[in-house]
Amino acid sequence: MTSSDDEDLTNSMFQEPTGYFKPEQPAKYTSYTLLSGQTLRLRLVGHNPLWGHYLWNGARILSTYLQTHAAHSIHNKTVLELGAGAGLPSLVAGTLGAEKVVVTDYPDAELIDNLKENIRTCSGATNIVAEGYLWGASPAPLLAHLPEPSSSSSKEGFDILLLADLLFNHSCHGALVDTILHTLKRTGEARALVFFYAV
C-alpha cells in the first residue's frame, strides 16, 4: 500500500455517506391576524435544530392574550421576549404601543436574521430590536436597549417579559430563571408572562 492509498483511505473514512446531509430548506411563511384585522406575515427559517422553523401555539395564545387582556399594561412599557422563534408576541407588543421591545433567541445568525426580517416587514415596528442571547449570560447587552432612566429611576430591568413554549427545555431551566431574575424590573407592576401549550 502506498502513502497515497493511505491518504485516500483516511480521507474516505471521514466523509459522510452520500445523502447524509439533507439539502437546506427554504424559508417558509405563515400569517397571524390581529384582533384589529391587521395581518402579520411571518417568515420562519427553513429548518433549525433550535425549533425556529415553527410558529408555536404558545406564541399564538400569548399574542391573543396580549391583545385581549394585557393591551393596557403593554402600552408605554419595556418588553423583553426570550426564545422568540419568529417573534410574534414581540411584534404584537410593538403594535400595542410598547415603548421598547427587545426580541431575543439563541445567538444563531440564521435565527436572528430571521427575527430582523420579521421586524423589518411588520408595519409600525420601529420600537423593536432583535438580539442574539444565550440564557444565563450577562444581561448587559439586553439592558443596554432600555431607555435612559429619569432621575428618579434606574435602568434596572424590563416591565414585561414574554416567554412562549419554553418550558419543555428542562436542561435550561436554571439559566432561564437566572435570566428572568436579572432582566425583570423589581417593582410590583413588572410581570413575566409564561405561556405554554400542552396537548
Chunked mean pLDDT (size 10), the chain, 199 residues = 61 67 76 93 78 82 93 91 95 94 94 94 86 97 88 73 85 90 92 85
Whole-number pLDDT of residue 5? 62
The fold of 22-195 is Rossmann fold (3.40.50)
Give the Cβ contact number of residue 118 at 10 Å. Answer: 25
Three-state secondary structure call for residue 163: strand
Distance CA 67, CA 24 (A): 36
Whole-number pLDDT of residue 152? 45
Whole-number pLDDT of residue 24? 67
